[in-house]
Amino acid sequence: MDGQVRGGQRGRALVNTTPTPRTGADPLAAADDLVGRLRTRRTEPAANPQLEALTLAVTANQPVLLWGEPGIGKSAGLEQLAAGLGLPLETVIASVHEPSDFAGLPIVGDDPAVTGVPMAPPDWAVRLTRAGRGLLFFDELSSAPPAVQAALLRVVLERRVGSLVLPEAVRIVAAANPPSSAADGWHLSPPLANRFVHLHWTHDPATVARGMAGTWPEAAVPAVDPAKVPGAVARARGAVSGFLTARPGLVHHIPADAESRGRSWPSPRTWEMALRLLATAYATGAGREATAAALTGAVGDGAGIELLSYLEHLDLPDPERVLADPDAFALPERGDRQLAFLIAVVAAIQSDLTRPRWEAGWAVLAKAVDAGVPDVAARAATDLAAMRRLDWPVPPGIDGFLDLLQMSGALPGGR
């Protein structure tokens, strides 16, 4: 017994729990300096379509979800993006939170029957609201259970956290691992998945090798050219509206299997996202690969590929240039281009409605009558007539549409 005790005492004596007295310099100071030097890095402009697609979605202020295997740099990419934008970054690990962390905790006041019970927001939401702008990053989204995903619906779509509404300038980005490689992975619920632009995040061995040498690609945010904004908005409206007119079956199509429902698929909500992405791409001059990745990330591969094929052969003229000189314009020969362009012209007029622009629009629509295709311009004519102010005279270009407009009641003032 005595030997056992002594043996136990000898075993315990091998572990020294007494703090080492400080006799001079910190023994870990040199190690910390080494780690600090390894963290020093620089960035350089580089062609990186997936990074450009991310910055395009962030510029368009659309919630974006990065899908990728663990350890490939999704979180690091977001930190670099926030630093490049000069935005505060708030990272929230969705999988370790409760639904109440996003819906808010009830705070009972003096008289709840009169004042109600407000829902207190978490500290990260308060910080973003005080800053007025920022990047909100939800990590490990596919590891969040269904109840937490449900609580995130209002945060992603309405920007509401408890009783607090996040500023419009706050951008939302999330990251997820495929359920097969996520910790306790779940498929995303269709309502939550349909609120994101889904981007596939992969690693390029050459980029990683160069990064280990201290240089990573720069997350350059595309700059919107103010001079291009009116034309970009009109062209995007014409293109998306024209496409959905030709392919009405793609307006809403929810996939049959759970995995596909947890990714991107077409719905009126995601077509609105695609419209914003396309207009932003036109206004920034974004690359074709990045634009393609963003559009398919919004509406899914099937609908996105059809849209991209449609856009490739569309080649719409700038509606602003046409409105400036409608007599010099020739109507496209293809019916789908005619429809998309006329919708774009009407959208451009609506964004800056004046009598000269309104009359120029009728001069453009009259060319559809001259070309023998007034039916193509019927919808555009109805929308344009509805913009007329009562003190504006009816221009000559409206003659070919009088019967249609009188039947629809879109021309209440008569001639």
**20 pLDDT above the threshold of 70:** no
pLDDT of residue 187: 81
Q: Give me the mean pLDDT over the 301-325 stretch.
A: 90
In angstroms, the CA 183 to CA 138 distance is 15
- The full DSSP string for 330-396 is ---SSHHHHHHHHHHHHHHHHHT--HHHHHHHHHHHHHHHHTT-TTTTHHHHHHHHHT--TTSPPPG
- pTM beyond 0.85: no
Cα–Cα distances (Å) from 405 to 384, 402, 413, in that order, read: 10, 5, 11
Q: Give me the mean pLDDT over the 147-169 stretch.
A: 91
What does the mean pLDDT of the chain come to? 85
H or E, element range at 50: helix 49-59
DSSP-derived 3-state class of residue 273 = helix
Are 261 and 193 within 8 A, CB to CB?
yes
In angstroms, the CA 118 to CA 103 distance is 11
Tokens of 290: 């990045």
Q: Which of 132-136, 193-197, 249-253, 397-401 shows the lowest per-residue confidence on average (mean pLDDT)? A: 397-401
Q: Exposed, middle or buried: residue 115 (CB in 10 Å: 0-12, 13-18, 19+)?
A: exposed
**176 pLDDT above the threshold of 60:** yes
DSSP-derived 3-state class of residue 130 = helix
Q: Which of 111-125, 162-176, 301-315, 338-352 shows the lowest per-residue confidence on average (mean pLDDT)? A: 111-125
Tokens of 172: 């939302």
Cα–Cα distances (Å) from 76 to 91, 201, 217, 230, 348, in that order, read: 11, 12, 12, 35, 40
pLDDT of residue 9: 46
Tokens of 25: 């310099």
Report the helix count and the strand count for the chain, using DSSP H and E: 20, 11
In angstroms, the CA 279 to CA 236 distance is 5
pLDDT of residue 208: 85
What are the φ/ψ torsions at residue 173 (nearest 5 degrees)?
Answer: -130, 145
For the stretch 49-73, pLDDT in tens is 888 999 999 999 999 999 988 877 7
Q: Give me the mean pLDDT over the 164-176 stretch.
A: 94
The conformation of residue 172, written as its DSSP 8-state character, comes to: E
